[in-house]
Amino acid sequence: MKLFQFIGMLCMFFLIMVIGVSCKEQLVPGQTFGKEDEATEEAGAESDSGGRKVTFACWNTQTFFDAQCDGTEYTEFQRPEKWTAAMYSKRLDSLCEVMTALNPDIMVLEEIENESVVQDIANRFAGSSWDKKKSWQYAGFAKKPGTAIGCAVFSRLELSALKVHSLDIRLYETKQPASRPLMELGIKCDDKDFTLFVCHWKSKSGGEEETEIWRDWQESVLARRLCELQSYRIPVVVCGDFNRNAEDFIIIPRKNDGVNMVFRGMGGQRAEASSPWITSAGTVKKDNGSYFYKDSWERIDNIFSCGDIKVSRFQAVAMPPFADEEGKPVSYKMYNESGYSDHLPLKCILTF
């Protein structure tokens, strides 16, 4: 078995600092929480318990490609007569509209093509506000070379030590499919930092059972790194699109009360985390989810917490215009340039 962990420059990543990355609407109180939780405080403001409080959002943007053909895009985005610069610009405006509506301190985006898209997002927001406390000054991007899409992070808090962890499995007759690396960043918040992992696991395309082995391998990479961090007692948030329902992870009772999810690694490694989708009794909290497929909700997007960090006010944000009247995501359709994404964004408050 060959399992390689690529850190830093071994996989393509892009870390930029953007000054004044904001927009006028971000100075308006947040629209997705009640007044007591509006994101008008300084990022990392002290909570009532004396810890730090940060608003956090995570969203699969649904195949977000720019208008430059590099040859790695999905086929429909390689045809200039079907995917134009004007169409990309319009969709970029829609993405920024969602980011403004959510208005989190930290915004994670999956299925972003490249660092050029990250820069274009930054340019859309640049110059509208000089209040650094209200602007996303930092951004990071990670992607495996030669693949179509990666993940991006925008933050009002300083990002540090971006790493990527990738798979190279050569055990089976079937070739390992293209996969996104595990993205790791430090979030600096005065004297109370935490580590963020961004995941986008193998899709179920090709069959759920047939592809589960690759999600298991991606889980093992995450579990290994979480076990390494446990000895340092570092608070950790793990977010992204896992292409696995929250209730399909292993769920075990805690020592005192409630339940934890288990990430399984090699050699019996196990790392425990909490999921806001799951109640203390081990059942699903919400009637809805983040992804609607074949007339049923799936909870494949998640925000896990490990250690001394708490997720509260968690929700799959189902509001117009990126959700319809029934609260279902309004997916993007190229043929008429309408919609946003086939996933709902997740939003919560982190307290640590």
For the stretch 231-259, pLDDT in tens is 888 999 999 999 999 999 999 998 877 89
CA–CA separation, 263 and 273 (whole Å): 8
Q: Is the model more confident about 226 or about 127?
A: 226
Q: Are 155 and 138 in contact (CB under 8 A)?
A: yes
The maximal CA–CA distance of the chain, rounded, in angstroms, is 60
Quote the pLDDT of residue 175.
83
Q: Are 262 and 270 in contact (CB under 8 A)?
A: yes
Q: Do β-strands 236-241 and 194-200 pair in parallel, antiparallel, or remain unpaired?
A: parallel
CA triple 151-153-158, angle to 5 deg: 150
Quote the pLDDT of residue 287.
82
Share of the chain above pLDDT 90, in %: 72
Reported confidence tier of residue 135, pLDDT bands at 50, 70, 90: confident
Q: Is the model more confident about 38 or about 69?
A: 69
CA–CA separation, 222 and 224 (whole Å): 5
Q: Are 351 and 49 in contact (CB under 8 A)?
A: yes
Dump pLDDT digits (tens) for 80-95.
999 999 999 999 999 9
Quote the pLDDT of residue 131.
64
Q: Is the model more confident about 203 or about 13?
A: 203
CA–CA separation, 291 and 299 (whole Å): 6
Quote the pLDDT of residue 264.
96
Quote the pLDDT of residue 48.
65
Mean pLDDT within 277-295 = 92
DSSP label at 189? -
Task: For 143, list phi and psi in degrees, rounded to 5.
Answer: -160, 145
Q: Is the model more confident about 206 or about 195?
A: 195
Residue 60 host element (H or E): strand 52-64
CA–CA separation, 149 and 314 (whole Å): 27
Dump pLDDT digits (tens) for 33-52.
554 444 446 777 666 666 78
